[in-house]
Structure 1
Amino acid sequence: MLNKVGMVSLGCSKNRVDSEQLLGMLTSCGFATVSDPSLADVIIVNTCGFIDAAKEDSIVNILEMARFKENGNCKYLVVTGCLSQRYKEDLETELPEVDMFYGVSEYEELAKRLASLCGLDKNTINCGGRLLTTPNFRAYLRIADGCDNRCTYCAIPLIRGGRKSVPMENLIEEATRLAENGVTELTVIAQDTTSYGTDIYGESRICELLRELAKIAKLKWIRLLYTYPNTVDEKLIDTIVSEEKLLNYIDMPIQHIDSEMLKRMNRHGTREHIEDIVKYIRKAAPDFVLRTTAIVGFPGETDEQFDELVRFMEENPFDRLGAFTYSQEDGTPASEFDGQIDEDVKQSRYDRLYSMQQPISLEFNKKRVGSMGTVLVEMRDGDTLYCRSYAEAPEIDGFIVVNDAPEDINEGDYITVKLVEAKEYDMIGELA
């Protein structure tokens, strides 16, 4: 019987949820997961196809896994995900090592096919479960798939279609099940979390959803990522601040601030709204942590427009920043725009933006020195703990490092620490 499956999950947290749902289907009918690909009868590479660097990383991983067909137990190499969705025919020609390609909406079909090929009963597949690939104390809750915003640089609507919100009762059921299985930190995700429900309820229900999630007894921390600036409003901020389990942390990608750039990107909303909501957040809760992302080198971006972005970030500092150089994606409107920027100019602007952000991030951490608070132990390495507070989102922010920890502290524990030293992205803490 061929029943050992290995998974390589690439890209964003939304893609990770796809991987976990597929693994849940496979294990429900008798597959066993293995972390060593040399032991796997089936290897699945769940790819990302969002930007050029992600595509290249996907190809590298596919080729790396292909060697286990000759030097391991692998009988079937499967490619799924966004890259397979967009470029299936090209990949079939270029990668004969791969046995099958499946897109982002074909996971149940794939699970049934693999079950049949490997001598397992496809009729026992349960499509409602997930096998977490995160530590068992934290999980992502994907509240919608696809996107309706149609930013001119973004291929997500081409890959995953328009917004498809998950009914609230299904999400509460899933979150409750995760909590019963040991999850205490829930990170709420989608392409645009603040538009949750507009397609099925006719209005955003993100605040209502967050309040219902906060009622789940065994959840301790709930964090909101991937909000859209023009739909972040006072009601949302007040909801977060008023609920103890909702962390005072928000990820609000602005992408740019120049009005002409925002128009060319087809980003809704205005600079004035962003400035106003940032001021409201700072007033509502001084300890509130703001994260954003920005794109540099978008077609037509002038030096003056980039300078405006830098000035805005200096005058309205965000505690966390993720920056990207523009990637020219097939089929997107922006890929056809005049004024494509040279790669060296993009890189120079990227470097300058991060150079601007580094002292802001350091100053944010310095202000925290001397404070005490609750942290979650993410990892343990010997007597060193790598922890996160409400101010550090999993996988994208830094750590609070605690040395000389006693043996009775485990991963997933919540402990109290005093912050004693600040670095640009990490902090040093001591047990309180």
Structure 2
Amino acid sequence: MMKKKITWNEKTVGIVSLGCPKNSSDTERMISDLSSRGYKVVPDLEEAEILLVNTCSFVTDARRESVDTLLELSRYKEEGKARYLVGAGCLVSRYRDQMGELIPEVDLALTTFEEHRLGEILDQVGGSTSSPLSIRPALFPLPGARLTPPHRAYVKVSEGCDHPCTFCSIPLARGGQVSRAPESILAEVRDLASRGTREVTLIAQDLTRYGQDLGLSDGLSDLLERIDAEGGIPWVRLLYAYPTLVTDRLLSVMAKSRTVLPYLDIPLQHVEASVLTAMKRPGNVEFMKRLVDRVRSAIPGVTLRTTFITGFPGETEREFESLMDFVAWARFDHVGVFAFSREEGTPSYSLPDQVPHRIRMRRRKDLMALCAGISLEKNKALEGTVQPILIEGLSEQSDLVLSGRTRGMAPDGIDGEVLVLSGQGSPGEIVDCRIVKARPFDLEAWEIGVPEIPEA
């Protein structure tokens, strides 16, 4: 959907990126492409003549935020502050045919498969080129721009997903899995290392399926061995693994690695076979227990993270209690809990036995309370220990203390933070700190070598 031809004045672009790290990675590549074509990305939206919103559509709240943001930025055009509005990302991909009717204020709508064309299209809109638009997908050009701080970065290894989970809208927006060539990933990791990046988080909808479409039998393990051999990044983190694809070799590679962190996020979603079958996911309680035991046996001290959905269609009280019992047994380090969101276009939308919203939310609250108690107990076990802490900068909770993360905490608030109450450190430094106080999800610490602060 491209509406009009405009002559650009300053070629300034204001960008709002919504959603997950995978979306942020896409935004970084669009910024890099625009910069290479002479466009200037500006932080103040009021100074931009072109506005771009990279949208999310994962759940209802995300769609609402994306629509609200597009409508809010359309007012900049009405007020004469901007001249062109671009919508990109997952929401546009899901509702491409309806975008003109739903949000006519959007001048250009690009799906996730067309975002590589943004710079070309804007050039044509501005009359700076008359060459035909490229139709060759370019999903993984190396980004020059980063939305993350210089000391950490996300590296996307594949796009899309082949799993048929009935609750998930991602294949509707991003299609099937397309893996990136290993050489391209390694080139990006080398580039980040040369810039002094301290932590790289490898991201994909399913990391453990990486390379299967390229004919690689154990692509993720091969990739990790090559990254580890490079040795340029101190911390390499993995998000996310599919339960049935966590191979013994992957666990062995992680256990032996100098750089790959003992951190694994395996979204289980549920443990009862009947619910998992309705989700079109494999497993049962016994399988999940064997998986947890296998991971912990192979990687001593591993941090295990997972997610669960409460109130999936057909979930009974007995099945929910079974999930609670499993979580109490497994004692995960970090857990994300989501009440089932009935997403239009997904198979679960029309499943029978929909669970009332209030029950979904009550079950989520109960499971979150259980997880918070487990988290507090695990954090208390860290009191008095010395942990390497990656410094992020000043804490948002107080500019009098530093914020950092242990090896077992993913970035961007996914797993909490460490408040470093005494000591010094610059963003990206890895500093040994003694844990002095546990909270349900956060920790407090002092840098080693700094005199202890006497209690008042």
- Same-fold call, TM cutoff 0.5: yes
- Other-structure match for 1:428: 444
- Give the TM-score normalised by structure 1: 0.95
- Give the TM-score normalised by structure 2: 0.90
- Give CA-to-partner distance per residue, 1:42-92, whole Å, 9 cap, x none: 111000111111101111211222222234631111110000011123232
Q: Which structure 2 residues correspond to residues 223-372 of structure 1 after superposition, within 5 A?
A: 223-372=237-386
Q: Is the 8 A contact 1:38 1:72 kept in 2?
A: no
Q: Distance in 2 between matches of 1:379 and 1:128?
A: 27
- Other-structure match for 2:417: 399
> Out of 67, 79, 88, which is 1:59 matched to?
67
Which moves more between the two structures, 209-218 or 42-51?
Answer: 209-218
Q: Is the 8 A contact 1:230 1:270 kept in 2?
A: no
**Cα distance, 1:225 vs. partner?**
1.1
Q: Which structure 2 residues correspond to residues 137-156 of structure 1 after superposition, within 5 A?
A: 137-156=151-170
**Cα distance, 1:383 vs. partner?**
4.0
2:29 matches 1:12: no
SS of the residue 2:27 aligns to? helix
Q: Distance in 1 between matches of 2:386 and 2:80?
A: 50
Supply the RMSD in Å over aligned alpha carbons: 1.8
Which moves more between the two structures, 88-97 or 252-261?
Answer: 88-97
2:198 matches 1:180: no
> Across the two proteins, how many residue pairs are aligned to each other?
429
Q: Is the 8 A contact 2:160 2:174 kept in 1?
A: yes
Q: Is the 8 A contact 2:231 2:259 kept in 1?
A: no
Q: Is the 8 A contact 1:22 1:130 kept in 2?
A: no
2:81 matches 1:73: yes
List, as ranges, runs of 4+ consecutive aligned residues in structure 1 with deviation greater than 6 Å: none
Report the AA paired with residue 345 of structure 1.
Answer: I
Q: Is the 8 A contact 1:111 1:122 kept in 2?
A: no
- Other-structure match for 1:28: 36
- Other-structure match for 1:192: 206
- Other-structure match for 2:405: 388
- Other-structure match for 2:451: none
- Other-structure match for 2:148: 134
Q: Is the 8 A contact 1:383 1:404 kept in 2?
A: no
Q: Is the 8 A contact 1:225 1:250 kept in 2?
A: yes
Cα 1:430–1:122 shift into 2, 3 Å: farther
Q: Distance in 1 between matches of 2:48 and 2:130?
A: 19
**Cα distance, 1:121 vs. partner?**
6.5
**Cα distance, 1:31 vs. partner?**
1.3
SS of the residue 2:172 aligns to? helix
Q: Distance in 1 between matches of 2:434 and 2:294?
A: 29
Q: Is the 8 A contact 1:421 1:428 kept in 2?
A: yes
Report the AA paired with residue 192 of structure 1.
Answer: D
Q: Distance in 2 between matches of 1:183 and 1:326?
A: 37
- Other-structure match for 2:183: 169
Q: Is the 8 A contact 2:271 2:283 kept in 1?
A: no
- Other-structure match for 1:213: 227
- Give CA-to-partner distance per residue, 1:383-412, whole Å, 9 cap, x none: 421001101001211110012444xx2112
SS of the residue 1:91 aligns to? helix
Which moves more between the two structures, 67-76 or 13-22?
Answer: 67-76
Q: Which runs of 5+ in 2 are unaligned?
A: 1-8, 449-456
SS of the residue 1:323 aligns to? strand
Q: Which runs of 5+ in 1 are unaligned?
A: none
SS of the residue 1:212 aligns to? helix
Which moves more between the two structures, 114-123 or 216-225?
Answer: 114-123
Q: Distance in 2 between matches of 1:122 and 1:26?
A: 17
**Cα distance, 1:284 vs. partner?**
3.2
Report the AA paired with residue 50 of structure 1.
Answer: F
Q: Is the 8 A contact 2:254 2:260 kept in 1?
A: yes
Q: Which structure 2 residues correspond to residues 405-420 of structure 1 after superposition, within 5 A?
A: 405-406=423-424, 409-420=425-436
